[in-house]
C-alpha cells in the first residue's frame, strides 16, 4: 500500500505534467500562428504588391508566366493558378492584361497560350499563322 507521502508526490507530478502539457500546447499554437504569418508574407512577396490594383495584377500575372515557363498560360489558367496561391484575380482583367502585354511586346501568343519571350520554344516558327513574336519597345 502506497504511503500518503508517495500519493502526494504522485499527485504533484501529475499536476506538473498537466501544466507542462498545457504550456506545450500554447507554444505549439504560437508556432502555428507564426508559420501562418510567414506564409502570408511569402504570398505577398510572390505577388509583388504595389500601389495600384492594376499593377498588382500585372505583377501576379508576370510571376505566373515565369512560373509556367514554356507551358504558357491563358486567362483561365492564370486565375486558377492564382487561386492555388491564395490570390484572387478576375478573368476579364487578366484577359485584357494579357492582350495588352502582347501588344506591348512583353509576351508571345501562339493562338492558345501566352508565354514570356524567353520561354518561346525553338520549335515555334514566328512566321507561322497565329504565332506572333513581339519585342519590347526601347
Residue 132's beta-bridge partner residues? 109
How many CB atoms are closer than 10 A to CB 70?
13
Per-residue confidence (pLDDT) for residue 95, from 0 to 100:
94
Per-residue confidence (pLDDT) for residue 20, from 0 to 100:
95
The hierarchical CATH code for the domain 50-138 is: 1.10.10
Burial class for 125, CB neighbours closer than 10 Å (0-12, 13-18, 19+): exposed
Rounded to two decimals, the pTM is: 0.52
Model pLDDT for residues 29-67, shown as the tens digit of each residue: 888 888 777 767 766 665 554 445 555 899 999 999 988
Mean predicted confidence (pLDDT) in 78-92: 91
Amino acid at each position: 500500500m502506497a504511503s500518503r507521502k508517495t500519493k502526494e508526490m504522485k499527485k504533484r507530478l501529475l499536476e506538473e505534467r498537466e501544466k507542462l502539457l498545457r504550456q506545450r500546447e500554447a507554444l505549439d499554437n504560437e508556432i502555428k500562428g507564426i508559420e501562418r504569418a510567414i506564409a502570408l508574407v511569402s504570398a505577398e512577396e510572390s505577388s509583388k504588391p504595389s500601389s495600384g490594383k492594376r499593377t498588382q495584377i500585372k505583377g501576379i500575372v508576370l510571376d505566373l508566366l515565369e512560373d509556367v515557363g514554356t507551358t504558357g498560360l491563358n486567362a483561365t489558367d492564370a486565375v486558377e493558378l492564382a487561386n492555388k496561391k491564395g490570390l484572387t484575380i478576375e478573368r476579364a482583367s487578366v484577359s485584357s492584361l494579357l492582350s495588352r502585354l502582347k501588344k506591348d511586346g512583353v509576351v508571345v501568343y501562339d493562338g492558345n497560350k501566352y508565354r514570356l519571350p524567353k520561354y518561346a520554344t525553338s520549335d515555334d516558327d514566328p512566321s507561322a499563322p497565329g504565332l506572333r513574336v513581339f519585342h519590347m519597345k526601347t
